[in-house]
Every structure is written in structure tokens, then in C-alpha cells.
Amino acid sequence: MTPPLIQVENLACRFDVSPGWASRLLSGAARTWVRAVDGVGFSIRRGETFSLVGESGSGKSTIARLIVGLERPSGGSIAFDGQDLTAATGRRTPAVRRRMQMIFQDPYASLNPRWRVRNLVAEPLRHADSGNGGRAQERETVARLLRMVGLAEPDGEKFPHEFSGGQRQRICIARAISTRPDFLVCDEPTSALDVSVQAQILNLMLDLQRELGLTYLFISHNLAVVSHVSTRVGVLYLGRLCEVGGREQLFERPRHPYTRMLLDSVPDLSLSGRARTPVSGEAPSPISPPPGCTFHPRCPLAEARCRVERPEPRAVGPEHEVACHAVEEGRG
């Protein structure tokens, strides 16, 4: 097997949310940290779509920002095509930035409203030092990119406010693929769009993946979207991966109680009458997560061991791992 394009090992990130130093001095309080990502590891092979799912606050977007270099990890490593990105000092090299791009969640906020579309799409080309051959070649490249995402060449002279939400996300996609990257991080790229427009954008992304040989890290809380686009799926809970497996494995034979409860939260259109246990209660605070398995306060299978011992990922099938004491002991 070829080595993975992305290899993440024991990735951690925490944020200081302490009050100001004067308040801490007067109160005698210690610093307060949020554990946004806590020992996450996964790999992404070339040409596949690896999706991360989980409730809000589970650490999905933080992992995306860590991989593209918008945040610094507190521990662990991120390797891109065999190159350790966490060992590099300073900002990412132009070569790495060219090969790794990101599509953000909100197309209304990620486009500069003062710039014409042709400048928005061309900006990565100008910073990538890709030898675009001057302004004439740049205009030709921008026109080609706009056509690839379903827009027209004259749209390059317009401003973002003249487009709908779906069209703005097409502009964001054109900008992301302008440097011919190998890897795209897609942070909930359809969550701000209407349902009908979501399908168009997802189909466009799948077409571009086949045409350009792209590799995706796809982040979403919409399980229907994830089942449509994914090759493999990782389920996050409170900054930790509780289950990783192929799309069919995870959606047809989920093993972790949290994964099963997430899938039970999806409306059952077949009206099968199967007993369902949707996720209930609130996720614990990432400032002071519970000991042992962080899911145990909400888990119907939790026992004494779950409250004191952190479960480690264990293989339960080909490329299928679960971090759960109940599954390991045959209770789930």
C-alpha cells in the first residue's frame, strides 16, 4: 500500500481561556485550559474522502485549522506526504501552502466584499509563486476555473454581493483549486446553504475530485451528507476519536454507543419500528472533561471501568477501530 497523504498522530490542542492576569492574581486562581483536541490520530490516503462527524464543540473545526496551519498544536504530529509539518518552524512553505487549501463554512464571510471575483480567485496564484505567466495568463486561468465550477467568465467582473450563497461557495471552490492542490480541507462547506443547493455543491465537489485527483478532509455534522461523499468516517466526541471505519461499516454496523445514538437521531423514513436511542443530555465541558471515557455520563452501557480508565482504539474489523470498553468486553 502507498503511504498516506496525511498522517495525524496523537494530535492535541488546548486553548487558554483564563481571566486576565490581574484577576488571577487577586483571586489566586490557576490558569484554565480548554482541551479542544485530545490525542487524535488518523490517516488519509490519496484520492479518498475522510470525514469527521460529531456534535458542535467536538473539535472538528479545530482539527481542520491545525492541519492547514491556522492553529498550532499543543502536542502530536501532522505529516503531509511524508513531511512533518509540526517540526517546521514559522509559517508553511509556499510549496506546502500550494498543495493544501481550505474551503470555509460561510461563503458570506470568507470572501472580501470589496474585491471583484477575478481578484478573489487569482489571489492564491499570486502568492503561490506558481509562474502564472503574467496578467493575460492569469485572466485565462481565472476564466477556466470559473467555468470548472459552473460560473461564466463575465462573472469575474462582479462583486460577491451579486451572487447567491451557492454561487459564492462555487467561487470559494474555484479559489481553493486555483493552485492545483492535492489536498482540500472542507469545513462544513454546505451547512450555510439551502438543501437543494447543498446537493449541487456536493456533486460539484465529487466531480472535481474525480477530475483533479483531489483528497478531501470533509467536516460536517450532517450524517446524510457524510454518507453521500465519504470513503471513511471518524466520529469525534469531546476532542477524541471514538470510532473510525469505512462508510458502509460505520453506517450499517456501528459499534460505539455514541455512533449508534448519533445514527438513531436521524429520522427513520422507512418507518421500520426499530427501537431507537437518540443522543440525550449535554456534552460535558471541555474545560473539565470527566475521567475515563468522556462519554460515560451519557452512555447506557457505562460501568465502573468506564468511569476511571480511558479506552484506547482497538481493531474490530478491517480498517475499523473503536475506543470503547463495552465493545471490547462484548457488552455492546
% of the chain residues with pLDDT over 90: 64
User: What mean pLDDT is predicted for residues 19-37?
Assistant: 83
Quote the CA–CA distance of 84 and 73 in Å, as a whole number: 13
Pairing relation of β-strands 83-84 and 100-103? unpaired
Residue 291 lies in a domain: yes
Residue 265 lies in a domain: yes
Length of the chain, please? 332
Quote the CA–CA distance of 71 and 64 in Å, as a whole number: 9
Q: Which residues contact 59 (CB under 8 A, 6 or more apart)?
A: 13, 36, 37, 38, 40, 236, 238, 239
Residue 264 lies in a domain: yes
Residue 247 lies in a domain: no
In terms of pLDDT, which residue wins out, 236 or 195?
Answer: 236
Tens of pLDDT, residues 66-88? 999 999 999 999 999 988 988 75
* pTM (predicted TM-score): 0.91
Residue 19 lies in a domain: no
Residue 300 lies in a domain: yes
Residue 304 lies in a domain: yes
Quote the CA–CA distance of 135 and 332 in Å, as a whole number: 62
> How many Cβ atoms are within 10 Å of 203's Cβ, its own excluded?
12
Q: Per the structure, how many domains does the chain have?
A: 1
- The parent domain of residue 322 ranges over 252-332
In terms of pLDDT, which residue wins out, 270 or 50?
Answer: 50
Residue 23 lies in a domain: no
Confidence of residue 60 (pLDDT cuts 50, 70, 90): very high
Tens of pLDDT, residues 261-306? 888 877 766 555 566 676 677 788 888 889 999 999 999 899 999 9
